[in-house]
Each structure stands twice: as structure tokens, then as C-alpha cells.
A and B are shown apart, each in its own frame.
Chain A
């Protein structure tokens, strides 16, 4: 394979955009062009809607899309993770059936991993899949499923062997949610939003050709997904802020973004809204209180230090150094920041912190911070799990004794 240069890629994508980009197209028409040309996911293989570009050159394509104001593929969402898994583990049938409609965003996806009985211990899933000679029959319950209410497909981790050890009895499936055996119910959180769902399976069916990899290899496949979740291999979805962004395709893209981002609208509050602290202290006069000043300084120190730590990790990565400890602690630092921010917002707000909704300062934003922050130290791996990971993988401390070995059937569970 001859090495393609940055300049060649740039010239090529620029010419293609000049010939094809048109704001009067529908989003679907445009995304079909992206799938046909391979420019939507240029790092994907040529035979599967990509151009086989090295990941390092994706940035060039993104820059040209941004410069032209061109819309890319849908950024974020589980579909992209599912696609990454299928490219690595999927059959040709699966790639052909699912990949294109992920690029065109005709199908929305969700991830059916967490269960009421297995949160931190994801491999302890007890949703079962039994083969009846024709289909895999699914029974059980999943939870914390973003977008399940409008998803067409879900990536499902289910137990197919109860006599194998915990991690070896799981299988990875693609499940069609639009069938009678699947019920999706919203899950209301303590902050009043319902960003996630519970999904119940009662004899739901998965055809054998929707089994990914092999029976019993589900955990390995799921680990691939989780790895992608951490270092998301991006396509050309970089939203361009340049130009007026007027035209049919932009309107459709805005509507799409609004739908996709709807579950996440409270996430800035969940992180603690450090950005509001100093202006709130000034507007309330709390900046005259020496105790508040100390707490603001502590919080800002934490927030800035965490930002610099992340930059140190990226800089080391760019230098090609092995990942140091600075790359593993962002999640834990984010928890500390969120909690500290909630405490400082409370100090600044005083008695008004007893109020919520439009009676709360900033139209409810402050109250939303206070009741959203507890999610940060749980979602995506609890603080305690993060500490275990740091202790075992970074500091190389010995592992805890295990009580979940042997046949899963005999393992104590909820």
C-alpha cells in the first residue's frame, strides 16, 4: 500500500466537496453521498464505506469539511460504537446490513449492557439468551439505556452459558427493539429528567445471524466497545461554525442534533458549572466573605489543575510516550470538581439553595447543579471503581481476592 500524503488527501477531499457539497440536499441524500464516497468515515476500510485512510489523516478531512461548512456523519451516539465493533468482529452480512445505515443515521442505536443487578460489575449480567432451534430468545432487564425509546437496534450483552465462569458465559447480540417482546420505559432521575430508559425483554427474539463474534465471546467484544468509548475514533462530524449555515440541510442537522443531545442537556450542571462560580459570587456579594473566597480558590485550583493534567496527558501521548498516571485520573478529578462546585454554589446561594425550578437562582440552573452532581461520581464507572483501576493498573497494587470464580450459576448475585 503506497503511503498517501496529507497534501494529496487535502486536495482530493477539497475537490470532492467542491463538486458535491450542496446545502439544498436533504440530510439523508447527503449522508448517502458520504457513504458512497467514503468521505464520511474516511478511516474505515474502502470496501465498507470508508477510504482506508490512516487515523492521523482524518483531521485533514475534518478541516476541509469545516472549511466548506459541510455536514458530516452523526457525531456521538451508540451507532458509531456499534460500527466499530462490527468492523472488528462482525460478519460481512452484518457489516452490509448495518454499517451504511449507521453512516446515514437512518437507524438509531442504543447499548444494552447495564442491568439493575450489575452496574459496576458489568460482566455479572443475568439477562439470558436461550437458543430455541430457530432464534435466540431473550429474557431479562437492562437499565440506564440512553435513546432506547427511539432506537431501532441495541447492542446486547446476554448470558448464554450459566455453567461457564462469569466472563466466559456472555454473548454479544444485535437486538431489534421494534418487536413485541421489548418494552421501553423511561427512567426518571432524582433531578427530574428522564434521560435514560429501562428495557424489559419477554421472549424477545434475535436471529442467529445477529450474533456477533462467537457464543461465549461477548465480554471480549464488549471490552472492544468500552475501549472505543474511551478513545472515540472520530469521523468527519466536526461541526462547522463558519458561515451563515442556512439551507435545508442545516435545518435538518439542527433538528437531528437537538434530538440526539436532548438527554444530555443537564450534563453541564452535572459537572458543577465551575464557569458560573465567580460571577455568581460577585452578583450575590458572597465574594466579600473570606470563607467563600477560600472555597472558590480551592475549587478553581482543582478545576485548572485537572485541565492541565489532561493537557499533560495529551502532550505526552503526542510525544509518543507511554501513558503516565496523569492519563488515568481525569474521571476522579471530575468528581472532586463537581462536588466542590456544588458546595461552593451552595455557599454562594445561601438560603435560596432551598428552592428549585424558576424560584431558584438563574432560572433553576443552580438547583439543577445541586441535584445533578451526584451522578458524576457514579456514571461511567464509580469513583470506587476508578480508585481500584488507578491502584491496580497505575500503582500496580495487588488485586482483591475474588469471590466470583467458577461456574456463574454458583456465584452469589442480586
Chain B
């Protein structure tokens, strides 16, 4: 993390409403790096490849910036920061639309391991993920696309002192390139547990799906008596739930980063584009739309930032707020993307204009980890309404 790579300060014990000087510095370092490495031309180049990322850039962001382990403890090779810094990273990645296996490896898989694994397993698995040497994916969703851990039907069974997995997982982000798969499965007796397996083991077939957002690759994975190791204990439901809540917070931050970028592009286009002898940004119809977009994005940012802060200090309310932030950011991002195209007019609907890259990320993120309605219902349940 170059200049910002100080030993982590003691975690804040209460919610902070402003980022610290160090956090802002880290953000600008990261933003400069991403502006350099992930301009839209690079996004377009990488999204057209099957792998979907540039290994050289991944190595740089791992080795120089320590991104994949930003939130992991130093004992496992991480930088020792927490959810707030993870949120800053995902926000900036979402802004730059970086094509890289960050969300799969660092957010979903690494957190699942942190939450579920034994000390020994953490020590064995996390350092490679933190260093960016291994890529990992969380295989949770099945063909029905349900993000509720209680809906898991995929089976694991004890066999010869270990476990075997049988069934199909789908919508596995970066499942086609991951070296390590973390798999959620139901055991006899109905407990949900987490397992790990190398992706090149026997009985595993992976197929890259055609994802609407080509910057976020999805795979379907078939398991036929694939051998796997139990991650932690046989009841992994709580660890999985915590992982998904953390992912919701990270995704909310990623989405507000993208929404902010779109807003900026809409504003700058409205200042430049002239029709009827005036910049279109001087028409109230456009001004008011942009003002509403700003309100939308700022409110969603507040929810995303607060959820990250609440998670960082383990505020008991944070899982509810994770769902709140996810729903709010989903709606705001999709609305902002649609209005950004609208403000661009005809050019906004072309392939050559970059807006659709973020629009597609917005649409896929809207349903990734569960639709806004699903998260609003979770919020209500968690508040015991």
C-alpha cells in the first residue's frame, strides 16, 4: 500500500462519519493506480477475454498495494485493516470498473475462510490469497439463483474420512479461473457447511457462462463425487451468513463508486452538449434530473459508508444495515445508470459510448447477492418488524 501502508491503527470503537487522513490518502493512491491501469480501453480489452483480467495488473495490485489482503489479519499475510478499508477498495474498483478477480477472491472466498475455518486452515489458505498468488471463488448459488443460504440443496456427504460433493453450482463469480473453490453444501442432518476443494481436482467440470456484465465473469460448476475438505465445523450457516453480509457491504460500496463515476460523466456531458443553442445542462429538465441523481448517489453512499463503519466496529445492527445498504445502492446505481444514458441521448445507447459498461455492472449488481426486495425483507426481519 506504498505510502498508506502503515501498521494498522487500533480499530475505531465508534462509528466515524468522515474518512481519516490516511484513508483518504490510500483512496487517492488507489484511484491514481486504477486510472492508469484500468481506463475504459483496458476494460473493453479485458472483458472480451475469457479470463477477464490482466495477470500483470493483478500482480501489481497484490504486491504493491496489498489489495487482496487489505482486510485480512497480518498473521495471515494481510494488511490488517478492516471493513472500512475494504469498502474504500471496492468503491474505487467499482468506479474504475477494474476487471480483476477481487470480489471473488478477497471479498467472498477469503471472508468465508476467515469466518469458518480453523486456525490451521486459515494459516494454510489465506496467505496465498492475500498475496494474490491464488484465486478463489465462493460457490453458493445453484441453478435457481437463490442467495438465501437456507435454500441450499447441493449435497455434501461424508466418505472415507473426508467429504464428497455432488451437484451443480451456478452464478459462481470467477469460478472459471479460481484455483480454489469454497463450496456451500448441505450435509445429512440438514446442516449447511462450507468446504474447500482445488478447482482442478477430479469430478469438477467448469463452464464459463455468458454474463450480461462481461466485466464480472460467471461460471457453472458441476461436481461429481468431488473430494473436498470441511472448512471449520459441520455447522457453517453462521459463518456463511456473516460472509454474505460482509459481501453485501462491500458490494454496496462498489456500487456507489460506479454510480458516482456515472454521475460525473452525465454532468460533464450536460455541460458540453449543445442543443437549441444552449448547453443541455442549462435546461431545468436536465438540471433537476442531475440534482436528483446527486441526492440519490449521496444517500446511497451514506448507507454504504455507514454499513462499513458499523461492520468494522461490530455494531449489533450491522447485518441489518448491510442489507439496507445493498438495497439502497442497487436502486441508486440502476437509476443513475439509466438516467446517465438518458442524458447522453442517442450516443448513450451506442456500444462505442462507455456508459453501457457501467450500466451492465449496475444491472448485474442489482441482483448479485440478492435483489433489493430480498434485502429489504431481510432488513425488516432483522429489525423484527
Contact = CB atoms under 8 A, between A and B. Distances in A.
Interface string A332-365: 1100100000000000000000000000000000
Given A308-B17, A387-B292, A390-B294, A301 B287 contact: no
Contacts of A316: 18
A114 B299 CA distance: 31
Interface string B243-272: 000000000000000000000000100110
Contacts of B349: none
A306 B299 contact: yes
B279 interface: yes
A391 B288 contact: yes
A316 B21 CA distance: 11
B294 to A, nearest CB: 6
B302 A326 contact: yes
Contacts of B271: 396-398
Nearest to A392: B287
B327 A297 contact: yes
A293 B328 CA distance: 15
B126 to A, nearest CB: 32
Contacts of B288: 384, 387-388, 391
A315 B18 contact: yes
Interface-centre pick from A388, A395, A398 (highest chain B CB count, 10 A): A395
A389 to B, nearest CB: 8
B18 A398 contact: no
Contact of B380 (A297, A304, A400): A297
A401 interface: yes
Nearest to A319: B18
A304 B324 contact: yes
B379 interface: yes
Nearest to B327: A301
B291 A398 contact: no
A66 interface: no
A61 B324 CA distance: 40
B377 interface: yes
B282 interface: yes
A278 B385 contact: yes
Residue from the set B294, B303, B324 with the largest chain A CB neighbour count within 10 Å: B294
A312 B385 contact: no
A318 B16 CA distance: 12
A339 B32 CA distance: 41
A287 interface: yes
A395 B291 contact: yes
Interface string B357-385: 00000000000000001001101100101
Contacts of B294: 325, 329, 390, 394-395
A305 B299 contact: yes
A282 interface: yes
A298 interface: yes
A293 B287 contact: no
B319 interface: no
Contacts of B3: none
A293 B291 contact: no
B376 A332 contact: no
Interface string B272-303: 00000011011010111011101100111111
A400 B282 contact: yes
A302 interface: yes
A376 to B, nearest CB: 15
A54 to B, nearest CB: 23
Nearest to B307: A308
A356 B327 CA distance: 35
Contacts of B324: 297, 300-301, 304
A37 to B, nearest CB: 37
Contacts of A312: 17-18, 302, 305
Given A306-B299, A314-B17, A332 B377 contact: no
Nearest to A391: B287
B306 interface: yes
B302 A293 contact: no
A332 B295 contact: yes
A396 B294 CA distance: 12
Interface in B1-49: 16-18
Given A305-B328, A308-B303, A311-B17, A290 B377 contact: yes
Given A308-B17, A314-B17, A397-B281, A293 B385 contact: yes
A333 B373 contact: no
Nearest to B377: A293
Interface in B61-110: none
A222 B287 CA distance: 27
Contacts of B306: 304-305, 308
Contacts of A392: 287
B310 to A, nearest CB: 10
A282 B380 CA distance: 12
Contacts of B301: 309, 326
A112 to B, nearest CB: 30
A290 B385 CA distance: 11
A389 B255 CA distance: 26
A332 B295 CA distance: 8
Given A294-B373, A298-B376, A304 B298 contact: no
B376 A329 contact: no
A254 interface: no
B299 A315 contact: no
Contact of B385 (A282, A311, A336, A387): A282
Given A293-B377, A294-B377, 17 more contacts: A278-B385, A287-B385, A293-B385, A294-B376, A300-B324, A300-B383, A304-B306, A305-B303, A305-B328, A308-B305, A312-B302, A336-B295, A387-B291, A397-B267, A397-B279, A397-B282, A398-B279
Q: Lowest 5 CB-CB distances: which A-B pairs, in order?
A: A297-B376, A391-B287, A315-B17, A315-B18, A387-B291
16 contacts: A278-B383, A296-B380, A301-B324, A304-B303, A304-B324, A305-B306, A308-B303, A312-B302, A329-B299, A332-B292, A333-B299, A391-B281, A394-B294, A395-B287, A395-B291, A396-B267
